[in-house]
Structure 1
Amino acid sequence: MSQHQTRSLRALLEREAELVAVDEALSELDGLLPDGAGQPGARRRGGLLAFAGAAGLGKTTLLTEVRARAARRGCTVLSARGGDQEQQVAFHVARQLLQPQLAGAAETEIRATLGSWYGIVGPALGLCTAEGAAPDPQGIRDGLDWVLTHLAVQRAPAVLVLDDAHWADPQSLNWLAAFAPRAEDLALLIVVAYRPDELPAGAESFRGLPGRAGHRPIGLEPLTPAAVGRLVREAVGEHADDAFCRECWAVTAGNPFEAVELTAKLRDRGVTPDGSSTHLLRDLAAATKGSGLVNRLERLGPSTVRLAWAAAVLGTEVPPELAAAVAGLGSEETADCADRLREARILTRSRTLEFAHPLIATTVYHAIPDAVRVALHGQAAWSVVDAGLGPSAAARHLLETRPEGDPWVVHQLRAAARETLRAGAPEAARGHLARALREPPPQEERAEVLYELGCASQLLEPSVTVDHLRAALRQPISDPALRDGIVFRLSQSLAHSDRLGEAAEVVAEAARTATSARTRLRMQAEQFMWDAFRADEPDSPGRSRRLTRLADRLTGRDLTERYIIGLRAWDATLRGEHVSTVLRHAGRALDGGLPWADEAWGFEVPVLVAMTYLYADRPERAEELFATGIADFERQGWRGAHLSFGLLLLGYVRYRQGRLADAEELARDGLRLAERVGRGTPVQWYSVAVLIAVLLARGRTAEATELAAEHAFREPFPAAVTFPDAQAVHGELLLARGLHEEACAELSAVGRRLDARGMRNPAWCPWQLHLALAESHDAPQRARYTALDALTRARQYGARSAIGHALLVAAEVSGGPERLKLLTEAVDHLAASPPAHLLARALVAHGVALRESGRPVEAAGQLRRGLDTALRCAADGTAAQAGTELARTAAPDAAAP
């Protein structure tokens, strides 16, 4: 038996309970009964098994045994270890886990295995170079989820082992913490070990993951005096007396690592194991850690010390030739020094330079004098670049150096930032660029670095991005394209921070000072877009006139012109110009293409053009455009706010068609993704508004009320124009709850805001229709006037769905013969337009009116049509009303002789 195996078995003393837990977990993974008997067809069950303990309590040895037992059972084993020196290397642990499973295959095989995820997760896993726009962090996590799930299914049963999780890089740790609950549904056992006091604050959720130990990890305890005594007697002989053994336990505090190291020293030095030698124990124990370890290392000679320092700086599994380059040693001297370190039990017997225990690595690293440590990191950066390991490998060392104004350092950090940003780790890229800025960069590069830093921060903190980009604009900039890029990104960040007025002013100023006609046009396009979203725009009619004059003379020859034409189509929709005008401009905008996933343009205008088709009763075209856009987002790895917007607005398209069950499912998917982006973000407002509108259409007012309360859906509303309008949806919710006075106040405020801007289209925002229903309780005449004004606007727009909806509400607030006439016309318009839930409502209302006018047979026919339509579109409230009204209509017939 090898020395390493002997030490492992010794360190597993008093770990019977932990090993039982491991065996039970592996048995469930195999689909076996607790007694080990196979059960045909038994379900394989994975899950999480977590071990926590202070340094030296045997976590690594325990996980080594886990891997061995899993391998003996034929499990696929994925293994990784966090490293104190690699915590700033994005996806370092993910690469250890997944790269070995894929890296040996040809590129064609890897592409076939990863499918559409190849270009998204490939760079993060080091399987391919990055191309195109960067995916967002959520896209990377979803891709890693897919890869791990695929491996777990294809190579089941599988065991994932992560040691020293407290040192895992944040990207990998957060991903695994989010993925772990899914292991229960796979033939995948995740086993992790960490030091609880050193787990990063950002990974606190890791402590509460579900597992076989409940919601807490299995804690490792120190060895008892009896166990330490057994270790001593195995090392020096059974004649070791009890007092000596107990003193060995006392000086090591039962720490397995320290106890095993102490017994090795007792054996090597031939210490007599009785009371005459107890005075030696504290010094021998101290030599395994802290200053004692450092003193022992120094006695091995300066070259050996320097090699140990180089290995500690470089991290885990260090190639000897790389350590030699950092230490400034020749190959033969390196080999001799490595042998001395192995004999001193500082390094393992592996071919690479690997410390025998993380405690030793940490002690050696912190023993390096500050100035020397900084210099070694600087040398390490040069060495890893010379070795072809790339700027990302160098960056973690450069982060530990002191600024000296070195352009090479700035170049490497910027290159590393580009790599990590494209790999989906913007927070790591931001750290690299912040360090590059402190170097500092040459004056002529400063604006570029600030711009790149702003881009890396945009998904994380748009407000911080604003500061970086404003600082960039204050620098001397000779490249017009760079200045335009900074201005565009600044306006985008301001808009995403709900500062639309500032966003519009930034591009307006750029348009005024532009020396190029194309630049001026591009900035005008951006200004028109942000102004279109502003709820506080000072001169909306004036902006609309300028946009009309400009768009009508453009031909759509390039993307800038098509964006402006698309904005013209949207503006025509808001103002209620006839649908023929709207669709003409929308078609012009799409002739030549409007990309959804273009970093340089954003996705807002393509979304607006798609929505023009929706309001113009062309939902099939809107669905087609959204399907294309969502596919673009997914292909690019944009699975955060972008995909959330796409899904929830596709849900809104289904809602406008009356496909309410589909709409609710998509809106909930959008809300789920929005909550991953963050609470209080614009995409969350959209999500909640759409879902509330769908729930109200389904007649589930209580659920809508609960959702609004959960997400604080009330004033203050966003400064951006939304679809549906958030404040109008809130007014509709108040109306559904029977709060007529509050609903009148809220909806009147919406009207004042929109009318002042010339936004008069009830197809886009039916605030007047909801207001009329709220007013009908206390002011029926005013309600009728409000509804008829909305009907006039709807007829001017010309979409049959808008006309039919306005006719329905006008009928509901009117009485007498006029009501029946309005309802008849409403049914005709709605039957020829998409919104089936409104048709169902109109049919039921028409049936009631027919019954009240003495026409029960016709009434029953309309009510049955209304019931069938409501059931098909999942309008539960309307279906219940239709059933009740049918019963009332049939009652006189049942009583007749």
Structure 2
Amino acid sequence: MDATPPGPRLLERDLETAAATRALDALCGSRRTGGVVVYRGEAGVGKTALLTRIADAARTRCTVHVARSGESTTHQPFHLVRHLLGPALGSATPRAAYGPALDVAGPALGLTAPGARPADPQGVRDALDTLLAELARERIAAQDGPGPLVLLADDAHWADGESLTWLASLAPRLAALPVLLVVAHRPEELADASREAAGNLAALARSARLHVTLQSLTQEATGDLVRGVLGDRADDVFCREVWAVTTGNPYEAVELLAKCSARGLAPTQDAAPVLRAFGTTARGGGIVARLGELDPDCNRLAWAAAVLGTDITFASAARLAGLPPERATRCVELLREARILAPDGGPGGPRPAAFGEVLDPSEPLDFQHPLVGTAVYRSVPPATRTALHGQAAWSLTRRGHGPAAISRHLLEVHPDDDHEAVRLLRAAAAEHLAVGAPEAARRCLERALREPPSVVDRAQVLYELGCACLLSSPATTVEHLRAALQLPGLTEQLRIDATLRLAQALAHGNQMRDAARCVADTAAVTPAGTQQLRLLAARFMYESFLAEEDDGLTRSEQLVLLADALPGADNAERALLTLRAFDAMLRGEPADHVADLCDRVLVDGRLAPGLGWTDTEWGFEIPALLGITLAYIDRLHDAEGLFTDALRTFELGGWSGAHLAFAHILCGAVERRRGRLVEAEAYLREGLRLAERVGGRVTVQWDALCLLIDTLLARGHVDEAHRLADDHGFCAPYPDALILPDARSVRGRLLLALGRAKEARAELESTAASTTIRGRYNVQWAPWAYDLADLIAEEDPVRAATLLADARHWAGVIGTRSAVGESLRRAAASAPPQRARALLTEAVRKLADSPAAYEEAAARLDLAEATTDPDQARRALTLAETCGADGLAERARTLLGAV
């Protein structure tokens, strides 16, 4: 490919076009290397011309999609993405090849109808990633096909937040895809942009293989431009004055030269003094003055086009301006002659109109340059602008457009106590949530509150606003839901739902005590029945999630009285039985009784309808707690079935945030309990990655860290566990929420492995006090007693023996083979040799009949070391290698080499 793409030469853009050429060569080369190219520059400096040149060069070898944002599209969610990907995916055959990703992202792209439930924004972005990758793969795989993808996004400073967030998250991965993304934006617009938009554009720049700021033309290049338009008769003084007037801005120079040509001005030294007067017409007030020279109908049509913003047709502009087709056609011609509107709706040149001809209703209209559209829109008198937005909204309503399309105009209309506007804005918010755009929903609902809604509707709007903010801002959710609960207008069902959502938001904000108190207070004034049971279940759940609890024993006793006799006849009873089973597991009650409680929750071995992972009435916490409980009573097959179902459900539903992260963590917990440590580590690393995308130190991130560190320690990778803990701050202060498994026990074990005995003891003593005062004696969830006994065995052998005896007692109460076997193994460490061999023999027998393969490997190795039995050592080695327990395997090899 030549260094300069085909077409007219762009003045002083050789380096920029050459860089684009290199990017295209890499994209079309054998390695198909994609990436990001970012051009920035002030308005009129030639970004669009450069992107047009790149598009023309790319079309000979690539599939090119071009989209441009505008001021009016900033608050239209996924507008830029729809224009970049929508046409290609909409025409794909068969679309079924895109699978679940199209189901998730289809509504955002306008290809499928939105669902009834809010979509997870991160899930939509992940689905867009999948669709783009599949689209790129198809383009490469097709023989004699159109080639790799080139996406060009112009005026990205005006891009909608949803699209820009996706592009910024996608950018670092584009080098591995046959996709080139070229972005152009104005840096001066970022001062007025949101912090999120500025951050996303900065992220795109950081990921770019090329990030160039376009400069104004030099005096010499401006002279070349002048002579290219007006001919060689343009003298040096005239050319220098054009450069001085326009400061080398290509757009302003072209507009100035067009004015000179229209006035028949000779491009000589004598004409130079009048150039400054002409130059003021190129932007801002000059454009408005140019428009003012035309008749009022032309002003009305231009104003209507500016209000419509994008995808303007002749019919829509004429209708909004209130002009008959014949008169509107003449106005379009005049506006094109005045270089307000672009010729023929684009850069292709003017098309002469025959006398009396009326333009086709579908003919597109566009402004000569985004600068012109901005200037015209800002020149519309405020009252007129508001009226035009209102007329546009009602016109779209009459023509059957949906609330989301109408809301863009309603957001610009002054509040007027219009209850129909409130209804439409609420419906638009629901549509925005359904496509994964909660920020757009928030804007609509905040605008609805200013209308204002009726007294009855106000509480419901506040409730909807709180729900819309739940994923993005739990603190804002708390504010709105508390306000809603203080007003009349909520039905009893909505009052309960608002309370539960409020508690959920408080819990997400690590205010677990407030969450528990919130639902407890509402339960106290709610009549007996299903709704009160929902509230009580939530209260018990949040109280059980507390890391420290004032009176956990009383709460456990209340759960016993409330739930033990329930048959599990409905979901309220099943939720309470789940919480009772989880509490009983933590307290170390017999596994058989815990299993009976769990079985009453399940219906034919499955979750009951309404208690599924994505059902909103009870939330995903109930099935999660059920699965965790089953995992800790050695019902790993049942737990695995629940958790793989969670993984599949969240993935198919496009839930890619904390829910999917937790599903991976739960699957990792099952693999860790089984002793499949390599598989557990893979699940947990993915869970941690997903949890970190949520942002902040949320509880799910602590869960992932705790289990991953525990797994790495079991594998013998102490240094790696140490780095992970230090990098993520896995130490006190711990969150106010319960961590899976006990965080202090895991931290204590890590410190022991690092030889930091004093710090380890402090952690283990702390968890001993915390769990004992709450009556939680499950030695598998919180195995602090074993490690503390090992630590103090020489210093205080009596207490060490007592700790081990108590641990064996509670393991016996629990009664699972894994708990009993591990307690025997750990007790053998401080027993006399003959007694130790007997304990280890029994431990191996118990653990061999349990699902705990890692613990069995450790027991066999301990027995081999106690008896110097090479057969046990070989079996321990084989099992350790199968588990991925590298530390145990190395010990076994060393032992085999010595016997």
Q: TM class, shorter-chain normalised? A: over 0.9
Match of 1:143 among 109, 117, 127: 127
Q: Could you tell me how far 1:205 is from its partner in structure 2?
A: 4.7
**1:158 partner letter:** L
Aligned mates of 1:563, 1:309 — CA distance in 2:
59
Match of 2:364 among 306, 327, 352: 352
The corresponding residue for 1:160 is: 151
1:417-566 equivalent positions in 2, closer than 5 A:
417-477=429-489, 479-515=491-527, 517-566=529-578
1:7-86 equivalent positions in 2, closer than 5 A:
12-31=10-29, 42-73=30-61, 75-86=62-73
User: Once the two structures are superposed, what CA deviation does each residue of 1:579-618 show, in whole Å capped at 9, x if it has no partner?
Assistant: 1111111111011623111122211110111112211112
For the Cα contact (< 8 Å) 2:828–2:837, is it kept in 1? yes
User: Once the two structures are superposed, what CA deviation does each residue of 1:391-418 show, in whole Å capped at 9, x if it has no partner?
Assistant: 1122222222322221122111111110
User: Once the two structures are superposed, what CA deviation does each residue of 1:369-400 show, in whole Å capped at 9, x if it has no partner?
Assistant: 23322232222222222233321122222222
> What SS does the aligned partner of 1:750 have?
helix
The corresponding residue for 1:311 is: 305
Residue 619 (1) aligns with residue 636 (2):
yes
The corresponding residue for 2:110 is: 126
Q: Could you tell me how far 1:799 is from its partner in structure 2?
A: 0.8
1:333-344 equivalent positions in 2, closer than 5 A:
333-344=327-338
Aligned mates of 1:786, 1:198 — CA distance in 2:
67
Q: Could you tell me how far 1:212 is from its partner in structure 2?
A: 10
> Which deviates further from its counterpart, 46-55 or 376-385?
376-385
TM-score by length of 2: 0.93
For the Cα contact (< 8 Å) 1:322–1:384, is it kept in 2? no
The corresponding residue for 1:741 is: 758
The corresponding residue for 1:88 is: 75
Aligned mates of 1:87, 1:11 — CA distance in 2:
33
Aligned mates of 1:741, 1:237 — CA distance in 2:
87
Aligned mates of 1:512, 1:682 — CA distance in 2:
28
User: Once the two structures are superposed, what CA deviation does each residue of 1:108-134 show, in whole Å capped at 9, x if it has no partner?
Assistant: x43x13321233211111112222322
Q: Could you tell me how far 1:635 is from its partner in structure 2?
A: 2.0
User: Unpaired segments of 5 or more residues in structure 2?
Assistant: 1-5, 141-147, 346-362
1:387-406 equivalent positions in 2, closer than 5 A:
387-406=399-418
The corresponding residue for 2:849 is: 832
User: Once the two structures are superposed, what CA deviation does each residue of 1:473-523 show, in whole Å capped at 9, x if it has no partner?
Assistant: 111135211111111211211222222222222222222222352222222
Compute the RMSD of aligned alpha carbons: 1.9
1:89-108 equivalent positions in 2, closer than 5 A:
89-104=76-91
Aligned mates of 2:436, 2:532 — CA distance in 1:
33
> What SS does the aligned partner of 2:73 have?
coil
Match of 1:258 among 252, 259, 262: 252
Residue 207 (1) aligns with residue 198 (2):
no
Q: Could you tell me how far 1:813 is from its partner in structure 2?
A: 2.8
Q: Could you tell me how far 1:534 is from its partner in structure 2?
A: 2.0
> What SS does the aligned partner of 2:366 have?
coil
For the Cα contact (< 8 Å) 1:322–1:383, is it kept in 2? no
User: Once the two structures are superposed, what CA deviation does each residue of 1:684-727 show, in whole Å capped at 9, x if it has no partner?
Assistant: 11111111111111111221111111111111212222221122
Aligned mates of 1:740, 1:803 — CA distance in 2:
27
The corresponding residue for 1:184 is: 175
Q: Could you tell me how far 1:211 is from its partner in structure 2?
A: 8.6
Residue 770 (1) aligns with residue 768 (2):
no
1:274-423 equivalent positions in 2, closer than 5 A:
274-348=268-342, 349-350=344-345, 351-423=363-435
Aligned mates of 2:568, 2:601 — CA distance in 1:
7
For the Cα contact (< 8 Å) 1:701–1:733, is it kept in 2? yes
Q: Could you tell me how far 1:208 is from its partner in structure 2?
A: 4.9
The corresponding residue for 2:664 is: 647
For the Cα contact (< 8 Å) 2:858–2:888, is it kept in 1? yes
Q: Could you tell me how far 1:56 is from its partner in structure 2?
A: 0.5
Aligned mates of 2:108, 2:398 — CA distance in 1:
22
Aligned mates of 1:389, 1:257 — CA distance in 2:
37
> What SS does the aligned partner of 2:151 have?
strand
For the Cα contact (< 8 Å) 1:477–1:483, is it kept in 2? no
**1:382 partner letter:** W
Match of 1:704 among 689, 696, 721: 721
Aligned mates of 1:163, 1:434 — CA distance in 2:
30
For the Cα contact (< 8 Å) 1:11–1:260, is it kept in 2? no
**2:49 partner letter:** T
> What SS does the aligned partner of 1:217 have?
strand
Aligned mates of 1:104, 1:337 — CA distance in 2:
36
Aligned mates of 2:283, 2:697 — CA distance in 1:
49
**1:443 partner letter:** V
Residue 572 (1) aligns with residue 566 (2):
no
For the Cα contact (< 8 Å) 2:37–2:211, is it kept in 1? yes
For the Cα contact (< 8 Å) 2:833–2:866, is it kept in 1? no
> What SS does the aligned partner of 1:78 have?
strand
1:866-881 equivalent positions in 2, closer than 5 A:
866-881=876-891
User: Once the two structures are superposed, what CA deviation does each residue of 1:640-675 show, in whole Å capped at 9, x if it has no partner?
Assistant: 000000101211111111111111111110000001
Aligned mates of 1:460, 1:186 — CA distance in 2:
30
Aligned mates of 2:208, 2:170 — CA distance in 1:
18
For the Cα contact (< 8 Å) 2:118–2:430, is it kept in 1? no
For the Cα contact (< 8 Å) 1:417–1:432, is it kept in 2? yes
**1:164 partner letter:** D
Aligned mates of 1:759, 1:302 — CA distance in 2:
81
**1:207 partner letter:** A
Q: Could you tell me how far 1:306 is from its partner in structure 2?
A: 1.7
For the Cα contact (< 8 Å) 2:102–2:131, is it kept in 1? no
Match of 1:862 among 860, 866, 872: 872
For the Cα contact (< 8 Å) 1:231–1:263, is it kept in 2? no
Percent pairwise identity: 47
Aligned mates of 2:616, 2:664 — CA distance in 1:
19
> What SS does the aligned partner of 1:155 have?
helix
The corresponding residue for 1:3 is: none
TM-score by length of 1: 0.93
> Which deviates further from its counterpart, 734-743 or 795-804?
734-743
Aligned mates of 1:621, 1:372 — CA distance in 2:
66
> What SS does the aligned partner of 1:48 have?
strand
Aligned mates of 1:477, 1:185 — CA distance in 2:
53
CA 1:320–1:387 in structure 2 vs 1: closer, same or farther (change >3 Å)? farther
> What SS does the aligned partner of 1:261 have?
helix
Q: List, as ranges, runs of 4+ consecutive aligned residues in structure 1 with deviation greater than 6 Å.
A: 8-11, 210-213
User: Once the two structures are superposed, what CA deviation does each residue of 1:775-821 show, in whole Å capped at 9, x if it has no partner?
Assistant: 22532332222112101100110011111111121111333422222
The corresponding residue for 2:351 is: none
Aligned mates of 2:787, 2:178 — CA distance in 1:
53
Aligned mates of 2:17, 2:591 — CA distance in 1:
72
Q: Could you tell me how far 1:26 is from its partner in structure 2?
A: 2.0
User: Unpaired segments of 5 or more residues in structure 1?
Assistant: 1-7, 32-41, 852-858, 891-897
For the Cα contact (< 8 Å) 1:207–1:217, is it kept in 2? no
Matched residues, number: 860
The corresponding residue for 1:246 is: 240
**2:41 partner letter:** G
CA 1:154–1:320 in structure 2 vs 1: closer, same or farther (change >3 Å)? same
CA 1:18–1:211 in structure 2 vs 1: closer, same or farther (change >3 Å)? farther
> Which deviates further from its counterpart, 669-678 or 281-290?
281-290
> Which deviates further from its counterpart, 334-343 or 670-679?
334-343
